[in-house]
Amino acid sequence: MAKRNNDNQPIEDILKEFVKTNNLQSGLDKVNVREAWANLMGNGVNNYTTAIELKHETLYVQLSSSVLREELSYGNEKIVKMLNESIGKDIVKKLVLR
């Protein structure tokens, strides 16, 4: 029977090491940001969200409604704060609504 490395290492630590070794964190961050947007904004906003892209700490969100885009722009900083709190770390520094 083959002996595993680090028999007592928690799965969380193993996964973190795997993510780090394979440079997967930025991909995971992009998925986490999309999920956070969907959860925080709800169906009303998600129905008008056509694209979400995270590039260098800037989140670009494409909306099909100019009225909604205008409305959300007033709460821009609050949305960024809520997204980062939801994810548990400061990934998004700026939100651009298109």
Between CA 44 and CA 68 the distance in angstroms is 10
> Does pLDDT of 75 surpass 90?
yes
* pLDDT mean over 30-42: 94
pLDDT on residue 27? 87
Does residue 6 surpass a pLDDT of 70? no
Distance from C-alpha of 5 to C-alpha of 77, rounded to nearest angstrom: 45
pLDDT band per the 50, 70, 90 thresholds, residue 69: very high
The pLDDT, as a whole number, for residue 18 is 87
* Of residues 44, 45, 32, 48, the one with CA closest to residue 86: 32
Rounded to two decimals, what is the model's pTM?
0.78
**Torsion of the alpha carbons at 27, 42, 87 and 60, rounded to the nearest 10:** 50
